[in-house]
Each structure stands twice: as C-alpha cells, then as structure tokens.
Amino acid sequence: MSLNILVINPGSTSDRVSYYRGEDDAFHKTVGYSPVDLAPYESKLATAQSEMRREFVLKTLREENVELREIDAVVGRGGLLKPVEGGTYIVNEAMLKDLRAGVSGDHPASLGGIIAWGIANPLGKPAYIADPPVVDEMEPLARYSGMVDNPRISLFHALNHKQVGRLAAKELGKPYQECNLIIMHGGGGISVGAHCKGRVVDVNNALDGEGPFTPQRSGSVPVGRLAVMCFSREYSNLQIKLMIKGHGGLVAHTGTSDLKLLERFITGEDISEEERKMLLPDLTPGKALEAIEAMCYQIGKEICGLTAVFPGPPDAIVLTGGITYNERILKLLRDRLEWLATILVFPGGDEMFALKEAARRVLMGEEEAKIYV
C-alpha cells in the first residue's frame, strides 16, 4: 500500500517540511520566518503563530505541485503536552486545547500538532503527533529526588530515542519490546535513557540541569554552590538560566558549542580571525581537548549508572544524535564503554523520517493510534 505523508517539524524561526510520496522522498524544505513575520507574536505563546505558519506550509505544497487531495495523513512534531506514554497520537480537541494553552510550557514544537490538524482536518484526513518530548514512562523509584517538592521528571529526545531503539532492536534481531537498551542522544542537549522492554523507565531531564554537561548545557552541578550563586546578587535570574541552558557546558569552558571548530582548533588547523573570536581568549588546544574529554567522561558515567536499572547487562548501548558524527567523541565513548555491552551507533537523528514512520505504522495497522485525554 502506497502512502503519501506530509511531515511538519516547527522550530523557533523556521519549519522543516517533508513530503513522502510512497517510498520516495518527494521533497524536504525549510520554511524560514523573518523578524517581520514573527514581530506580531513577540509577546504571545508560540502557538499563536499557527495560522501564519500553516499558510506558509500550504504555499510550499503549491510550489512543489502537491495536490492536497492526494495526502493520506499529516504528522507534526509533538509539543509540550501533559506527560504521556510513548506512541503515535491522533490530534484531537483535547490535545489542541492543551497545545494552545501551553499546558506544560511554551515551545515551537507545540505548533506541530496544531498545523498538522489545520491542514488534515479540512481534507477529512488524520493528523498525528509522535513521541513528544514529554513522554513519561519512568518507574516510581526513578522519580524520587532528595527534595519532596522537586521530583525528577521525564523530558528528553523521545522521538529519536524511540526510533533508534527500534533500529537497534532490528540490528539485534529482536523486537524493541524485548530489548534492554541504554540510549544516548547527543546534540545541544544530551539525554541518556534506560529502555526496558520498550519503555523508557529512567532518563535524565535533558532540558535543564540534569545528567552530563553538553555542548550548551550545564548538566548536573553542585547544588549547594548553585544556591549560593542564586542568592549572592552577583547574577541575575536570566544569567543563571543561561548558565544552565545556552551558555553552559562546552560554551562555558571553550566559548563555543561548535564541535567542528573545536576539532580544527585542537588539531592545529587554520581557523579564521572571526572563528578565533568565538573561542575564549585564554583557550588553548589542550584545554579544549580536556573539556571534550570531560564531557565524554560524564556521558560515560551517566550510561554506566543506568546499568543498575536492569537485572543484568543491557543488550546494547546505543549512541545517536549530532555529536556522534564526531570521531573523537565516538572513540572516547567506545574506550570507556566497550567492556560493558555491544555498542551500536546511529549518527544524527532523522526526526522527519521518524515522524513519517510513526504515521505509516498506524496507517498500515502495525500500531494503534493512541488517544490523548
């Protein structure tokens, strides 16, 4: 059965739009929005942009000569809903209400389901989201922290985790629901999850302040010292937030999260004057290398820590995300973890393909669509 599936993945200032005509990739385009386009929405939730962005997506379909009547389904990136278990969800009124209200926060990803529904509904076709970042399958013990009012929460790269979990299971020759995997997704943020028989029963909060430090985020830090910093009056609330997310991690230690630039700096290749300005003035190749080694050290500790979740050794350790294109990082992680389990690597993270596959599985009857309530 040949299926035509439209995929929409909203970002802060652009939307990625892909169209799959049967097994063929008809097109992949990025629709960018100018400051003028976004200016009327500056003081509003991101979801207020839905109608404007829907029109841009429809314009792209016209430019690519896609007839709306040929579309079988539309799938959008999942947003900040109430916590849900993993799976593919049909967009319904309850979901639209929570996305528009920003029930769990404000993020452009929440536009995915709204735009998908806005295109699919007039056509009488289904709209879906899949494995949103609020997927929560954590076991009760995993939710505990040492503060009753500050429990651990599940907030991670669920879409890519679940997709590479299925790919890893296929390589191992077992169903995903029968595998025990530790999966690390590494990008601007890093999430490390314990996948136990198809459920992510423990995972670090990859958004703000838990787990290893990352190219842009602080990860877990000494909380006593952080409390002192927060009340010292030396730092504003915004400065602290940026230290945790945006200006933390490799940015704090080197000045940049650009791993390609850091690699050229470490190996002594020529870098431009403008590129050198991106790095800390006193940064040396040795310090840059040590910062990357420290990040990998922390990733390794996080992965090893999750082995306590399983009754025995995991079937595999799976490495994915943008940082896995970096050969130095891969070697550092392999050197630390090869003794523990088979290591499988799926570089990058094709969110568009993952979303398309989620819709395809439902349309083909391989998976039942879930209902958001």
Q: What tens digit of pLDDT does each residue of 265-304 get?
A: 999 999 999 999 999 999 999 999 999 999 999 999 999 9
Strand order in the sheet with 73-77: 24-32, 14-21, 4-10, 73-77, 127-130, 88-90, 370-371
The residue assigned the tokens 């996948």 is: 195
Band of pLDDT at residue 41, cut at 50, 70 and 90: very high
pLDDT at 23: 84
Does residue 1 register a pLDDT over 80? no
pLDDT tens-digit profile of 187-196?
999 999 999 9
Nearest to 292 by CA among 256, 317, 239, 242: 256
Domain 4-134+351-371 grouped into CATH 2.120.10.80? no
The residues spanned by each domain of the chain are: 4-134+351-371, 140-341
pLDDT digits (tens, 9 = 90+) for 47-100: 999 999 999 999 999 999 999 999 999 999 999 999 999 999 999 999 999 999
Please determine whether the domains at 4-134+351-371 and 140-341 fall in the same fold group of CATH: yes
> 119-148 pLDDT, tens per residue?
999 999 999 999 999 999 999 999 999 999
The DSSP line for 24-72 is EEEEEEEEE--HHHHGGGTTS-GGGGHHHHHHHHHHHHHHTT--GGG--
Domain 140-341, classified CATH 3.40.50.150, yes or no: no
For 235-256, what is each residue's pLDDT tens digit?
Answer: 999 999 999 999 999 999 999 9
Residue whose tokens read 């799938």: 75
Reported as half-sphere exposure (CB side, CA atoms, 13 A), residue 362 has a value of: 23
